[in-house]
Amino acid sequence: MALLPILHYPDPRLHKKAKPVQVVDDRIRQLVRDMAETMYDAPGIGLAATQVDVHERVVVIDLSEDRSGLIVLINPEILGSSEERKTYEEGCLSVPGVYDEVERPSAVRVRALNERGEPYEFDADGLLAVCVQHEIDHLDGKVFVQYLSQLKQTRIKTRARKSERESARA
């Protein structure tokens, strides 16, 4: 297994739309293992392949405290969502140190393939629904800060570029 480098906003590669996985093979299973290890190390609760510069529709999520609840979503799609919307404070491994409120549907119905290439569906609400939507946004080339006001987006971009310059000098 390997830790993968996580892209940081405003890297333009974060806005690239991921392609569907054609075959769930050993390469994809290795990617899933590497992504899970990277997510746990970060630490985070979700990671999309786009964030590690792999533009295929693969997501890993684990909301458990003990890392026992890994959910693998290959080619995930939202089949339906609730009319009820809820606001949650979101953060992102690609936008370190930034947290802000985003309004999303409070529940979703999801279809995906597991790491064996088998299709499955599930209903998600609460934090899992937020996480699924957040990670699918990444696969579609969208970062959560794009839900925020233009002023906040500009501030976040400025801060990220400044941080990038400082770490390049270090």
Over residues 86-138, the pLDDT tens digits come to: 999 999 999 999 999 999 999 999 999 999 999 999 999 999 999 999 999 99
In this structure, the dihedral spanned by the alpha carbons of residues 21, 12, 36 and 4, taken in order and rounded to 10 degrees, is: 110
What CATH number should be reported for the domain holding residue 154?
Answer: 3.90.45.10
* Percent of the chain clearing pLDDT 90 (strictly above): 92
Q: Is residue 140 part of a domain?
A: yes
Task: Tell whether residue 92 is among the known ligand binding residues.
Answer: yes
Cα separation, 44 vs 61, in Å, equals 9
| Contact predicate 61/71, CB 8 Å | yes
CB contact at 8 A, 114 and 59 = no
Residue 138 counted as an annotated binding residue: yes
Residue 15, annotated ligand binder?
no
* Per-residue confidence band for 69, with pLDDT thresholds at 50, 70 and 90: very high
Domain extent at residue 139 = 10-162
- Residue 149 in domain: yes
| Count of other CB atoms within 10 angstroms of residue 158 | 11
Split into its structural domains, the chain has a count of 1
Active-site positions? 135
Contact by Cβ (8 Å): 37, 3: yes
Is 158 a member of any domain? yes
Instruction: Tell me, yes or no, whether 37 lies in a domain.
Output: yes
Q: Give domain status of residue 3, yes or no.
A: no
